[in-house]
Amino acid sequence: MWQIVSKPMNQPFKKAWEEILSPFLRRPKRLQVAALCYKPLENSDDKEILLVTSRDTGRWIIPKGWPIDGKNAPEAALQEAWEEAGVRKGKVTGKALGLYNYDKELKGGLPVAVETLVFPVQVTEMRDEYPEASQRTRKWVSPAEAANMVREPQLQDMLLAL
């Protein structure tokens, strides 16, 4: 039986791959911003969370998108809440709640790693007519139910912490 022996000459190639080539070929994560839209329940400290369906797969998500030129991250998150969920009036009620990661498939079929920055948005007014109304379904649910409906573990943790 043949035995493969690692020769010292291979070590420089292995080191070059691990330290130079492999990191160079990895793509950095792209940034998105998201609005975790909520409304307080009357006479309670509890909240309801607004989820929407994605256009591609129909899975439940929170409104999110790419940064927008001329807007800071919370403003871009509010814009996504309007376009994807019909949130006409909302207020970012604090700093970002955190980040969650997922893989987004781009139009060409290539997946790209995405890091999503999530802002809390208290909703004060909704509209039934909004830019993506015909492409999405929206639903108000409890934080625990929302956590069961979304796929991303880091987002699930944020929802359960509300």
Residue 7: pLDDT band (50, 70, 90) is low
The per-residue pLDDT for 49 is 98
Mean pLDDT estimate for the chain: 89
The per-residue pLDDT for 106 is 76
Strands 64-65 and 60-61: unpaired
Say which range, 1-5, 93-97, 125-129, has the weakest mean pLDDT.
1-5
Whose tokens are 């909520």? That residue is 38
Across 96-114, average pLDDT: 87
* 47, 143 contact by CB (below 8 A): yes
Integer Cα distance of 142 and 162 in angstroms: 10
- Dihedral over Cα of 140, 124, 162, 97: its sign: positive
Map out the domains of the chain with their CATH numbers: 28-160 (3.90.79.10)
The per-residue pLDDT for 24 is 53
Question: Which of 66, 58, 62 lies closest to 48 in space, CA to CA?
Answer: 62
pLDDT at 57 over 80: yes
Q: What percentage of the chain exceeds 70 in pLDDT?
A: 84
Q: For residue range 115-140, what is the model confidence (pLDDT) as tens digits?
A: 999 999 999 999 999 999 999 999 99
For 18, the token pair is 């691990």
